[in-house]
Amino acid sequence: MKPFEVLFLGTGTSHGIPVIGCKCPVCTSADPRDNRFRSSILIRSGEHALLVDTTPEFRLQALRADISHLDAVLYTHDHADHFNGIDDLRVFCRDQVLPVYCQEETKHAIIDRFPYVLTGSTVAGGVPHLQLNTLKAYDEIEIGPFTVTPIPILHGKKEIFAFRIGDFAYATDCSEVPPESIPYFTGLDTLVVGALRYWPHPTHYSVFEAKAFVALVGAKRAYLTHLSHNVSHQKLEDELPSHIHVAYDMLSLSIGG
């Protein structure tokens, strides 16, 4: 696979940071890395681009990152902070139907909650025109130059998807990885994994658990994302081993090459 770029469009948890009405040290921080849109990434290689999740700020993320084309959208799951920006995909459907790839549950969430994105009679106009494609666990798919493997992980009791592309994997909103999924995280150059806060949470890894998962799979380098306002960027960065870092909005990583 050719080298590609991973761009963090957002690195925050469901509230975003600053949190509305909060005056804590992180929400009032002068460090721009503590300002976090909801979590999403863009994967780019040449003229090709894959979006992972449509957050409520997707319009602002797309403007900030100067996104003008998408080959497809991948969804990790259907929670609002990863999903509810779906309407802003319409600008990428002016002259084409945009492919969307997701698990069966997310497919039905789109049909139930946003039925109009599938029923437009013509391409163009004021609504998205999406083509839904169901992903099966561990089955590779080819999208442009990218080979994508959906990997089941647990978000509390909910099964969602992480994604592996080459030597890169993205596992946000993870609280547990089933044993059968572990091998799909081995041999990675770069792992992105959620780390909500320092202490345990029922549906997300803590910083300690995320570090343990990085050690378990032996990733050469790792970046923590989906961070809450309980985590200061610089404080956590100073506490981590040299191969683990704190992601921040608009951070760009080069994979391969």
Predicted pLDDT at 163: 98
Residue 133 has pLDDT above 70, yes or no: yes
Predicted pLDDT at 123: 61
Rounded to 5 degrees, φ, ψ at 49 are -150, 135
5-39 pLDDT, tens digit per residue, is 999 999 999 999 999 999 999 999 999 999 999 99
Rounded to 5 degrees, φ, ψ at 192 are -110, 125
- What's the whole-number average pLDDT of the chain? 96
Instruction: Indicate the CATH number for domain 4-255.
Output: 3.60.15.10
Where do we find the tokens 């506490």? 239
Assign 96 a pLDDT band (cuts: 50, 70, 90): confident
Residue 118 has pLDDT above 90, yes or no: no
Segment 240-253 shows an average pLDDT of: 98
Segment 166-178 shows an average pLDDT of: 98
Q: CA nearest 51: which of 140, 137, 130, 154? A: 130
Segment 199-203 shows an average pLDDT of: 97
Q: Which residues contact 37 (CB under 8 A, 6 or more apart)?
A: 9, 10, 11, 12, 16, 55, 57, 60, 61, 249
Assign 79 a pLDDT band (cuts: 50, 70, 90): very high
| Range name among 60-69, 90-99, 158-167, 230-239 with the lowest pLDDT average | 90-99
The structure tokens listed for 162 are 């992480």
Predicted pLDDT at 221: 98
Domains in the chain: boundaries: 4-255
The H or E element spanning position 61 is helix 58-65
Q: CA nearest 118: which of 90, 142, 144, 143? A: 90
Query: Angle at the Cα of 134 (from 127 to 37), degrees rounded to 5?
Result: 55
The structure tokens listed for 115 are 């039925």
Residue 200 has pLDDT above 60, yes or no: yes
Where do we find the tokens 């320092």? 198
Segment 224-230 shows an average pLDDT of: 98
Largest CA distance in the chain: 54
Residue 95 has pLDDT above 90, yes or no: no
The side-by-side arrangement of strands in the sheet containing 48-52 is: 130-134, 98-102, 72-74, 48-52, 40-45, 4-10, 252-255
